[in-house]
């Protein structure tokens, strides 16, 4: 964990550059003007969320197959950071929606999918809080996590099918069509800044989970082992 | 013992248990009826309005009553540690899950058979002309609901606040199923009834994805 401080400084630097670039370097958007600049942050939130939730999904499978507690620590960290990124993405989306579309919210496929994902992963975290036994908590929440992840494409497809049959009120304007090269570069910087920040928060959350686990072990040891052994364990060097 | 045979025996056990008391089925039907009646106060139930809102109302009633009905499926096994006894039986965990899924499927289907005619009478929609196609939608929808719900019932049974937890876990998972089932039902109740294959495909896809996932994950779900 020695790399933590330099990595944090790097991510903070990247965030500052991304913020500056999004506000001052990126060219003005033709129809939406200044409000479009939230997009650089907004898309970053979604990339962070999808990465974090994919990490959770992989960690869920990893726990079920190997039973190494590290996978469980990773899955809870991924889910928490994913929910946080999702919340930021939803809020920036709502803030952008009002001036750009004239409405705060529309039940468009993407918005609905992300909202349902948010609900699913908040439920995942609630579920984890309600099961006492650590092993059982890890296994049962992993099964639910896999269900939740499998559900996401179905939610998207169903909403897509539904909304294209009725005339959709507003759809996200073609971000991929004719994107200005400077905009593309700024976008890349902001997305990598958000990803870097997400990964650092995730690593810290993982560390917290590991320390909690060690503390629990010491507590159990304190109830069953002689005092000298426990203090020796507590002083033992760790990486 | 083959999985099918073990599941059939467990299904018989569930059915016998239920038909001795009939408490689950009675309560589910009445609860769904309460939802259907309460909804009538939230809009003006004219014929045109019922056709528009009815399908959603009907499926919300099924989802709510299903999410409450599915809880005892595993919750009931907690009281006397009978789940441990079932686990000790030399059968695959999926057989245990499958037996319960089939039992829940039959219970919820029985409730739907009672509810759909009542709904049709109360809200003045005609289902008789499209009964066959409507049955396909009901079967696919109920299957998906019971497959996911039984798995989540097994998860919730080990947690605190399990009665509240099951709907919390189940209802967001069912979003695609709700959309597809409501849209398919709406197209059947329209003045010119027709059934769009896309929605049926989505319902079937939901069932296949989650039945396969339950089969793959059943070992982990029911381990001690």
* Model pLDDT for residues B170-181, shown as the tens digit of each residue: 999 999 999 999
Specify if A4 maps to a domain.
Answer: no
Taking CA–CA distances from A158, the nearest residue in chain B reads B176
**For residue A116, which of B182, B178, B172 has the smallest C-alpha distance?**
B172
**For residue A84, which of A58, A112, A53 has the smallest C-alpha distance?**
A53
Per-residue pLDDT for A171 more than 70?
Answer: no
Taking CA–CA distances from B154, the nearest residue in chain A reads A140
**Best residue in B176, B199, B212 for a mutation probing chain A (most A CBs within 10 Å):** B176
Q: Does the beta carbon of A142 lie under 8 angstroms from any beta carbon of chain B?
A: yes
Specify if A65 maps to a domain.
Answer: yes
pLDDT tens-digit readout, B55-75: 999 999 999 999 989 988 888
**Best residue in B59, B78, B144, B155 for a mutation probing chain A (most A CBs within 10 Å):** B155
From chain A, pick out residues whose CB is under 8 angstroms from the CB of B162: 130
Query: pLDDT at position A75, please?
Result: 96
Give B156's pLDDT tier (boundaries 50, 70, 90): very high
- Alpha-carbon A166 to chain mean position: 32
Specify if A224 maps to a domain.
Answer: no
Identify which has the larger pLDDT, A38 or A78. Answer: A78
User: How far is residue B37 from each of residues A178, B27, B30, B110, B159, measured CA to CA in Å?
Assistant: 53, 15, 10, 19, 33
User: Which ipTM was obtained for this model?
Assistant: 0.90
Specify if A2 maps to a domain.
Answer: no
- CA-CA distance, A155 to A236, in Å (whole number)? 49
Task: For helices B47-69 and B23-40, give the axis angle rounded to 10 degrees.
Answer: 150
What is the length of chain A? 239
Asked if B220 and A139 come within 8 Å (Cβ–Cβ), the reply is: yes
Asked if A136 and B173 come within 8 Å (Cβ–Cβ), the reply is: no
Who contacts A63 (Cβ-Cβ below 8 Å, separation ≥6)?
Answer: A71, A72, A75, A138, A139, A142
Asked if A127 and B198 come within 8 Å (Cβ–Cβ), the reply is: no
- CA-CA distance, A1 to A142, in Å (whole number)? 27
Of the candidates A116, A140, A150, which has its C-beta nearest B155's C-beta?
A140
Q: Return the SS3 of A201.
A: helix
Of the candidates A64, A119, A165, which has its C-beta nearest B172's C-beta?
A119
Give A1's pLDDT tier (boundaries 50, 70, 90): low
User: What tokens appear for A42 in the block?
Assistant: 């907004």
**For residue A90, which of A47, A121, A46 has the smallest C-alpha distance?**
A46
From chain A, pick out residues whose CB is under 8 angstroms from the CB of B173: 120, 147-148, 151
Of the candidates B173, B183, B213, which has its C-beta nearest A162's C-beta?
B183
Asked if B173 and A158 come within 8 Å (Cβ–Cβ), the reply is: no
Specify if A230 maps to a domain.
Answer: no
Per-residue pLDDT for A125 more than 80?
Answer: yes
From chain B, pick out residues whose CB is under 8 angstroms from the CB of A158: 175-176, 179-180, 202
Task: Write the DSSP assignment of A123-182 as a string of letters.
Answer: HHHHHHHT--SHHHHHHHHHHHHHHHHHHHHHHHHHHHHHHHHSPPS-----SSTT--HH
| Range scoring the smallest mean pLDDT among A158-162, A215-219, B144-148 | A158-162
Asked if B173 and A157 come within 8 Å (Cβ–Cβ), the reply is: no
Average pLDDT rounded to a whole number, residues A49-53: 94
Identify which has the larger pLDDT, A159 or A135. Answer: A135
Specify if A221 maps to a domain.
Answer: no
User: How far is residue B140 from each of residues A226, B40, B181, B203, B217, measured CA to CA in Å?
Assistant: 60, 26, 9, 6, 21
- Residue pairs spanning A and B at CB distance below 8 A: 82
Domain that holds residue A61: 17-24+35-170+180-202
- CA-CA distance, A52 to A86, in Å (whole number)? 10
Check: CB of residue B155 under 8 Å from CB of residue A140.
yes
Specify if A211 maps to a domain.
Answer: no
Asked if A130 and B160 come within 8 Å (Cβ–Cβ), the reply is: yes
Average pLDDT rounded to a whole number, residues B134-148: 95
Label residue B52 exposed, middle or buried (CB < 10 Å: 0-12, 13-18, 19+): middle
Asked if A147 and B160 come within 8 Å (Cβ–Cβ), the reply is: no
Give A145's pLDDT tier (boundaries 50, 70, 90): very high
Q: How close does chain B come to A151, measured CA to CA in Å?
A: 6
- CA-CA distance, A77 to A171, in Å (whole number)? 33
Check: CB of residue A45 under 8 Å from CB of residue A187.
no
Who contacts B55 (Cβ-Cβ below 8 Å, separation ≥6)?
Answer: B181, B182, B183, B185, B186, B189
Window 160-219 of B: residues touching A by CB (8 A cutoff) are: 160-162, 165, 168-169, 172-173, 175-176, 179-180, 183, 198-199, 202, 205-206, 209-210, 213, 217
Specify if A218 maps to a domain.
Answer: no
Counting the structural domains of chain A, the total is 1
From chain A, pick out residues whose CB is under 8 angstroms from the CB of B170: none
Domain boundaries, chain B: 3-221
Give B212's pLDDT tier (boundaries 50, 70, 90): very high
- CA-CA distance, B151 to B142, in Å (whole number)? 14
Check: CB of residue B115 under 8 Å from CB of residue B142.
no
């Amino acid at each position: 964990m020695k790399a933590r401080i330099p990595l944090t400084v790097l991510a903070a630097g990247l965030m500052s550059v991304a913020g500056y670039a999004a506000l001052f370097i990126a060219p003005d958007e033709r129809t939406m003007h200044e409000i479009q600049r939230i997009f650089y942050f907004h898309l970053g939130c979604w990339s962070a969320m999808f990465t974090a939730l994919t990490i959770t999904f992989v960690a869920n499978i990893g726990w079920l197959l190997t039973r190494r507690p590290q996978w469980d620590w990773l899955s809870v960290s991924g889910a928490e950071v994913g929910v946080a990124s999702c919340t930021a993405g939803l809020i920036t989306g709502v803030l952008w929606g009002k001036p750009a579309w004239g409405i705060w919210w529309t039940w468009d496929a993407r918005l609905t999918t992300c909202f349902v994902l948010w609900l699913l992963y908040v439920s995942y975290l609630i579920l984890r809080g309600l099961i006492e036994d650590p092993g059982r908590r890890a296994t049962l929440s992993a099964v639910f996590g896999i269900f939740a992840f499998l559900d996401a494409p179905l939610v998207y497809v169903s909403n897509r099918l539904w909304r294209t049959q009725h005339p959709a009120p507003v759809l996200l304007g073609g971000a991929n069509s004719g994107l200005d090269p400077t905009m593309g570069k700024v976008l890349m910087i902001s997305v990598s800044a958000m990803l870097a920040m997400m990964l650092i928060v995730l690593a810290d959350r993982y560390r917290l989970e590991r320390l909690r686990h060690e503390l629990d072990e010491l507590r159990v040891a304190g109830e069953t082992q002689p005092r000298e052994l426990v203090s020796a364990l507590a002083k033992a060097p760790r990486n | 013992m083959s999985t099918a045979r073990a599941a059939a025996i467990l299904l018989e056990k569930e059915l016998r248990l239920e038909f001795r008391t009939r408490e689950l089925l009675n309560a589910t039907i009445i609860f769904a009826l309460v939802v259907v009646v309460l909804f009538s106060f939230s809009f003006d139930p004219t014929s045109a309005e019922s056709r528009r809102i009815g399908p959603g109302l009907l499926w919300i009633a099924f989802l709510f009553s299903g999410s409450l009905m599915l809880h005892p499926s595993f919750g009931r096994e907690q009281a006397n540690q009978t789940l441990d006894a079932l686990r000790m039986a030399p059968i695959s965990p999926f057989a245990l899950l499958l037996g319960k899924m089939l039992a829940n499927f039959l219970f919820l289907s029985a409730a739907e058979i009672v509810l759909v005619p009542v709904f049709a009478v109360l809200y003045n929609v005609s289902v008789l002309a499209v009964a066959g196609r409507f049955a396909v939608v009901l079967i696919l929808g109920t299957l998906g609901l019971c497959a996911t719900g039984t798995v989540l019932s097994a998860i919730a049974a080990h947690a605190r606040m399990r009665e509240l937890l099951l709907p919390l876990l189940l209802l967001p998972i069912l979003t695609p199923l709700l959309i597809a089932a409501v849209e398919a039902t709406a197209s059947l109740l329209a003045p010119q009834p027709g059934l769009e294959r896309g929605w049926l495909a989505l319902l079937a896809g939901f069932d296949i994805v989650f039945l396969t996932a339950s089969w793959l994950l059943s070992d982990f779900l029911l381990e001690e």
